[in-house]
A and B are shown apart, each in its own frame.
Chain A
C-alpha cells in the first residue's frame, strides 16, 4: 500500500524548488539595488555553504536545530494542529537538558542520553499543556501555544538569571559537564553527533506517521476529525499525543543547542529557531524528508550569509528577506501552479 502522501512525487518537490528560485530572483533585485552583481553574491553564498566539506559541515550544523523544530511543526500539522509553540517547547527542553547536564556526574553513555531524554520530556510536557487545553477546553492551539511561548521564555529567563545563574556577569548558567555534551564530528566546525539524532528523529517521525496504528489515527484526526471520531478514534487523546510528540521534537532542538553548541543555557539563545521551524515545515511539505531538505537549505543560506556580507556590499539581512520570500512563494502555491500550468490534483 502506498498512500498518495507517502511518496514525495516530483511535483511535490518541484513546487518548493520553484519557490526557492523565484525567491532568489526577487532577492537579486535587492542585490542590484545595493549595486552588486547577483551572480557574484549568490556564487559566494553557494560556495561558502556547499563548496567544500568544511562548508557543508557548517551548513549542516546550522541546519540541525531547524531539522528538529521543522519536524516538530510538521508532525503536529499532520495531526491537524498548528504548533506555534515550538519556540517555547525548545526553551523548556533546553532548560531540562542543561539541568541534567550540570546537576549530575555520570558516565557519558548514560549522561548524554539522559540529558537528551530530559529535553524531550520537558518539551513534550510543555506542549501537552497546549494539547490538553485544546482537547478538553477547546482553546485553539495557536492561541495557547503563543501564550505558552511567553511563559516558557520568561520562566527560563528567571531560572537562568535567578536560581541557576552561573555567577558571571552574563545571564547564563554554568557549563554542563562534558559527559553530557554531543561530540564534534568535523573540526574545526561545530557540527556534532546531534545531526545523527536529527536523522533518527526524521525516520522515527516517518515510521510513526505512516507505519503505526497511532500514526493512522493521528493523520485521520488531522484530515477529518469527524470521520476519525466516527471510526472510534479518540480525538482528544490523539490531540494530546500529537502535541506531546511535537513538543518532544522541539525539545530535541533545545538539547542540540545546549548539549551541542552553547554547552550552557544563555538567556534567549534561540533566535527564533522554533518559528523558523514553521517555515521549514511549510517548505518541506510536512514530510520528514522534505523537512530535512528544507532545513539544509535554510542552514546553507545562514552559513553562506556571513561570507556574502564580508566580501560583497550585500548585507546578511538579505538572507532573512530571501527566507521570507521562499515562504511567500510556497504559500502562493496556487500562483506557481498557474505559472507552471500544472493541472490541479484535487
Chain B
C-alpha cells in the first residue's frame, strides 16, 4: 500500500516538557492506524502538529509524497486532512446540514440554497454509510450522532486523512460499535484514519496497525494482528501492568447508605433525579452505570450535601442526613472523590499539602485551639500520604497545578481514602488518568471495600464498573432502572439499559439473539 502520510523526526518542545521527541509516524492508504499512549505522552500534540494547530520545532511532514509545511488548519484542510476533536465544535441551534456546510455554504445568488445543501449532505451520508437526518437540530441529537456530524463535516471538506482524537471517550458501548462500523465503511472507501485513544480494547477491535507513544517518544509500531492487550499496556506504561483488578468476593455487612425516594432538581427547576431508592452496604461496591448526564452527578452531589434534594430522605449509617451541610456529612463518615477534580476536588493553586487537608483543615491536629494552622503537623501528614499513595513528584509544597492528571487524582484519592470513611463515593475515579495510576486507584478502591467501607462507584467506563462492582445499578433519565448482582451484568446488557431499553425487552431479545452469539 502507498503511504499517504509520513511524519519524520517530529520534535516539539513546550516550556516544561518535550512533548514530541523525534517521533516517526506514517499512515498508509486506507488503513486505520491507532495512536495510543497515556495522558501527556504526546499523541494529541503530534496530531495537532499535523492539523496545523501547533508548529513543530524540527522534523518534516510528507503528504502524498510532497514535503509540506502545515502552518494552520486551513492548510491541513487543503491537503485533505480532517480532524474530529474530543470536544465537538458544532453550533447547537443550527441543523445538521447547516453545521456541515458551515464555512463553505452553497449559495444561490446572495441567498443560501438550503435545498441543495440538504441534498448534498444526504448524498454524502449515504455514500459513506453515515445515516443522519440533515434537517435535525444538533441540540436534539445524541452525542454519538453529533460525532457523526463532525465526521461528515471533515468529509464534506474533502478529508482523505481523518484524525479522530479520543473519539470513544464520550460514547456508550453501542455507540462505540456504531462508530467502529462507520470507520470500517470509511476505510473501505479509501479514507486513511488516525485513531487516537488510550483504550487498548478499541485498538484491537478497529485498527490495522498501532503506534505507541510514551513521554513524547515513539516506543514502537505493531501490526494489530501481531500484538495483544498485555503487550500494548506494557509499551504504554513501560512496565508490567495488571489489567484485571484482583479482588476476593465481597463480604457485605450492615447497610450504610440508604436513599428513599430521593429527587433532585437543577437550578432551572428541571427534575434531574427522580425518586431514587438505593441501598449500599458496608463491604460492597455498588457501581452506577449510565451515560453521563442522566442524573448521576446530581444524585451524588445531593448525597454529599452540595445540592439540595427536592424530595426524599438520605440516611448515612442510620442517621437522616438530608439537608446537612457538606462539613457535617463529612464528619459523619463520608468520603467523596468528585467527578471533576479541577472544579470540585482540588484548589489547583494550593500546595499538595494544603489540598491533602481540604475538608479536615479545621480539625486537630492541623489547627491549634487558637485557630492557627499547625504547619508542622500538616507537613508531616502530607509526607505520609504522599509516600503511601505514591504521589509524584513527592514534594508536599508544590502547587497541585504542576502535577500530572494521574498524580492530581492520587492527591484526591489519598485525601478521601485516608480518613477511612464509612461511605465512600467515587465518581469517575480514573477519568483522564493513565494506565499505571488506574491500576493503583482500583486497588485502593477494593482495599477500602475490604476494610468495610460502603463504596458507591459512578463511572462512564463500563469496564471499570464491571471490574470493581459487586452490584450494578443502571441510571437512565434520572431514574435507577435496574439493580443487579455483578454476575448478571454484561457489557451488552448494561449498554442496552443505559440507552433507555427495558430489562424485559432485553431478556426477550437475548433469548432470540443468543443462538447467534458465542
* B residues neighboring A (CB under 8 Å): 15, 304, 306, 325-327, 330-331, 336, 338, 343-351, 353-354, 358-359, 361-362, 367, 371-373, 375, 378-379, 382, 396-397, 399, 401
Contacts and interface: CB of A to CB of B under 8 A. Distances in A.
B371 A214 contact: yes
A233 B397 CA distance: 22
Given A212-B371, A216-B361, A227-B346, 19 more contacts: A1-B353, A1-B375, A1-B382, A3-B354, A216-B373, A219-B347, A220-B350, A223-B347, A223-B349, A224-B346, A226-B343, A227-B343, A228-B347, A230-B306, A230-B338, A231-B359, A232-B359, A233-B327, A234-B327
B341 to A, nearest CB: 9
A234 B349 CA distance: 19
A217 interface: yes
Contact of A217 (B325, B330, B361, B401): B361
A220 B347 CA distance: 7
A305 to B, nearest CB: 38
Contacts of A346: 401
Interface string A205-222: 000000111111101100
Contacts of B372: 211-213
27 contacts: A1-B353, A1-B375, A1-B379, A1-B396, A2-B397, A3-B350, A3-B354, A3-B397, A4-B351, A4-B399, A213-B362, A213-B367, A213-B371, A217-B362, A226-B344, A227-B346, A227-B347, A230-B326, A230-B338, A230-B344, A230-B359, A231-B326, A231-B361, A232-B330, A232-B331, A232-B362, A233-B327
Where chain B touches its partner, the secondary structure class is: mixed
B349 A5 contact: yes
Interface string A178-195: 000000000000000000
Interface string A120-148: 00000000000000000000000000000
B326 A232 contact: yes
Q: A interface, how many residues as a size bin? A: 20 to 34
A232 B354 contact: no
B345 A232 contact: no
B57 to A, nearest CB: 15
Nearest to A213: B367
Nearest to B15: A343
Contacts of B327: 232-234
A317 interface: no
A216 B375 CA distance: 12
A212 B345 CA distance: 22
Interface in A298-346: 343-344, 346
B246 to A, nearest CB: 31
Contacts of B326: 229-232
Interface centre among A1, A214, A232 (most CB of B within 10 A): A232
A215 B367 CA distance: 12
Contacts of A228: 347
A77 to B, nearest CB: 14
Contacts of A220: 347, 350, 358
B373 A230 contact: no
Contacts of A223: 347-350
A234 B327 CA distance: 8
Contacts of B347: 219-220, 223-224, 227-228
Given A224-B348, A229-B326, A211 B397 contact: no
A212 B325 CA distance: 22
